[in-house]
């Protein structure tokens, strides 16, 4: 029996494989970049075979580095969510390019459905909004417009998200999707065990072309012997943001994580309570075990690290992202300067696609240090607005665990703690997505008895940032921010 968990992380820009030990140490790693195809403005596609081949070669490379497949106890897959693959079950080959989550080609379809007045009903059922981001309209588009898809008889046609595609290839034919990925399709009721017949009908999708919904962890399937050298148990399937939430140890209701990468993604554990949002946050399945679900509430800010890239590449007031920290520390405050990073509209809880960014409060005393500091302060402000929306929807954050490239900024981490008046925690091991999938697979394989036990054994040390800001300073910062948001 092997002692390692092999995680395949099929992301948007690259595919990786990482081996973990039962105590959470990361071993050999392999990575392949993934080609992005942009056939038209607003369209984003991947080659599903490239995802499969990259996953397979990364997995084989890591297995070889460990000394063979006998060293692997179980496999966990985590993946970019919402992206749709279409394939022929008989040939095992993709029949169209995968439509990626970022793809906006179904915007008109979504607008028409919204106009028909169905969004409230869909949101209540699925936790999601009628947006091209989610899978259902992408599936419908492929069925209507792709000749390769239309040529395949319905009893041979398969649709699935990326974990579903990889599972099919690894097992040589199982057509499964886990509940966390299925909860991003618009076809799963938050309280429904399987994809919903009425929702499928409403989106015009043939139920027989869709996967069976299974737990996120457990004895889910077994790989075919020839793929990795011997049959290996597939013990976890989980969407990337849910995996990061588990990797951050957010296992109790109210525990929340924020990933600050290009954009910022926040998820809070809701326990067994069905998430319902009055603030356009998303309700989603965090994980499912033995048919029982734990839910999360999710919100995102479109612009986070991309604001820092903009300071570097367009304004050219910094040479690299890390320089913002020294600049922020070099001044007592941002003066009156406030940045609203609505460069691509405002996401949750505002949802104003037409909003535009602004830099306000400039005076002759404002220099690049004030602007850089105000840009970092904007991260705490956006996070505060989301925390307020989460609390209003029943998920009051008890502390915030951060990760992503931007979380390396200590000044920003402290500022977020100060503005939220909450302890902010940052793990030393920042690959929380892969770690989360490894934790689930370890529980799924019986290596650890529970997620709490897996977290205790596998999560490493953390740095803590405790709030130290005076209440009046915080109130003044937030008042200035809210005035600026109203202008944007
Ligand atoms: P993604 O996964 O979305 O590609 P990453 O998690 O790799 O993004 O984070 C990269 C982003 O973080 C970049 O936009 C970069 O500008 C920002 N970033 C990286 N280091 C710092 C830092 N020390 N301070 C502020 N921003 C940073």
Q: Where along the chain do its domains lie? A: 4-241
The token pair that represents 318 in the structure block: 């910094």
Q: Is 308 in the pocket of ligand 1 (CB under 6 A)?
A: yes
Nearest residue (by CA) to ligand 1, atom 14, is: 305
Is the distance from the beta carbon of residue 404 to the nearest atom of ligand 1 less than 6 Å?
yes
Q: Decide whether any atom of ligand 1 lies within 6 Å of the 304 Cβ.
A: no
| Atom 13 (ligand 1) nearest CA | 305
DSSP sequence for 279-345: SSPEEEEEEEETTEEEEEEEEEES-SHHHHHHIIIII---SSTTHHHHHHHTSSS-TT-EEE--BTB
Query: Is 406 touching ligand 1 by the criterion CB < 6 Å?
Result: yes
Rounded to the nearest angstrom, the distance between the alpha carbon of 383 and the centre of ligand 1 is 16
Burial 198-209 (b: 16+ CB within 10 A, else e): ebbebbebeeeb
Separation of alpha carbons 393 and 396, rounded Å? 8
Ligand 1 within 6 A of CB of 309 = yes
Tokens of 17: 């494989």
Each residue's pLDDT expressed in tens, for the chain with a length of 488 residues:
578 999 999 998 899 999 999 999 999 999 999 998 999 988 999 999 999 999 999 999 999 999 999 999 999 999 999 999 999 999 999 999 999 998 889 989 998 999 999 899 999 999 999 989 899 999 999 999 999 999 999 999 999 999 999 999 999 999 999 999 999 999 999 999 999 999 999 999 999 999 999 999 999 999 999 999 999 999 999 999 999 999 999 999 999 999 998 889 999 999 999 999 998 899 999 999 999 999 999 998 888 999 999 999 999 999 999 999 999 999 999 999 999 998 877 777 777 777 888 999 999 999 999 999 999 999 999 999 999 999 999 999 999 999 998 999 999 999 999 999 999 999 999 899 999 999 999 999 999 999 999 999 999 999 999 999 999 999 999 999 999 999 88
Domain 4-241 has CATH 3.30.420.40: yes
Residue 38's SS3 state is coil
How much distance in Å is there from the Cα of 412 to the middle of ligand 1? 12
pTM of the model: 0.92
Residue 131 Cα to ligand 1 middle (Å): 26
CB atoms within 10 A of CB 145: 11
């Amino acid at each position: 029996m092997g002692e390692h968990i092999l995680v395949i992380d099929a992301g948007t820009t690259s595919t990786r494989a990482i081996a973990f030990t039962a105590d959470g140490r990361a071993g050999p790693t392999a990575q392949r970049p993934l080609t992005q195809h942009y056939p038209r403005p607003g369209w984003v596609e991947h080659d599903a075979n490239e995802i499969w081949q990259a996953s397979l070669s990364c997995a084989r490379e890591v297995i070889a580095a460990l000394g063979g497949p006998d060293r692997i106890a179980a496999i966990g897959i985590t993946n970019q969510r919402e992206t749709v693959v279409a394939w022929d079950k008989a040939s095992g080959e993709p029949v169209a390019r995968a439509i990626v989550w970022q793809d906006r080609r179904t915007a008109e379809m979504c607008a028409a459905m919204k106009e028909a007045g169905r969004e409230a009903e869909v949101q209540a059922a699925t936790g999601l909004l009628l947006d091209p981001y989610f899978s259902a309209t992408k599936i419908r588009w492929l069925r209507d417009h792709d000749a390769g898809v239309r040529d395949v008889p319905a009893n041979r046609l398969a649709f699935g998200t990326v974990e579903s595609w990889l599972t099919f290839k690894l097992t040589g034919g199982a057509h499964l999707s886990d509940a966390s990925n299925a909860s991003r399709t618009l076809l799963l009721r938050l309280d429904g065990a399987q994809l919903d017949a009425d929702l499928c009908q409403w989106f015009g999708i043939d139920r027989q072309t869709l996967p069976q919904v299974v737990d996120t962890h457990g004895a889910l399937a077994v790989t075919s012997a020839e793929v990795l050298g011997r049959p290996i148990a597939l013990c976890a399937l989980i969407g990337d943001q849910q995996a990061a939430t588990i990797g951050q140890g957010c296992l109790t209701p109210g525990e929340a994580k924020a990933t600050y990468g290009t954009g910022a993604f926040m998820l809070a554990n809701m326990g067994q309570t069905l998430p319902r949002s009055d603030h356009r946050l998303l309700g989603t399945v965090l994980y499912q075990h033995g048919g029982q679900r734990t839910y999360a509430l999710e919100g995102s800010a479109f612009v986070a690290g991309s604001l820092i890239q903009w300071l570097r590449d367009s304004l050219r007031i910094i040479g690299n992202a890390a320089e913002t920290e020294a600049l922020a520390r070099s001044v007592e405050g941002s003066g009156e300067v406030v940045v609203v990073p609505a460069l691509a509209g405002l996401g949750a809880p505002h949802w104003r696609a037409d909003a535009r960014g602004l830099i306000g409060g400039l005076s002759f005393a404002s220099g690049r240090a004030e602007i850089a500091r105000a840009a970092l302060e904007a991260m705490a402000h956006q996070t505060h607005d989301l925390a307020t929306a989460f609390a209003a929807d029943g998920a009051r954050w008890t502390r915030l665990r951060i990760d992503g490239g931007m979380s390396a900024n200590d000044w920003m981490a402290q500022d977020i703690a100060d503005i939220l008046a909450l302890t902010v925690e940052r793990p030393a091991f920042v690959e929380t997505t892969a770690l989360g999938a490894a934790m689930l697979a370890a529980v799924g394989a019986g290596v650890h008895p529970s997620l709490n036990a897996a977290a205790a054994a596998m999560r490493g040390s953390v740095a803590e940032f405790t709030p130290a800001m005076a209440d009046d300073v915080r109130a003044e910062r937030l008042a200035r921010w809210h005035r600026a948001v109203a202008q944007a």
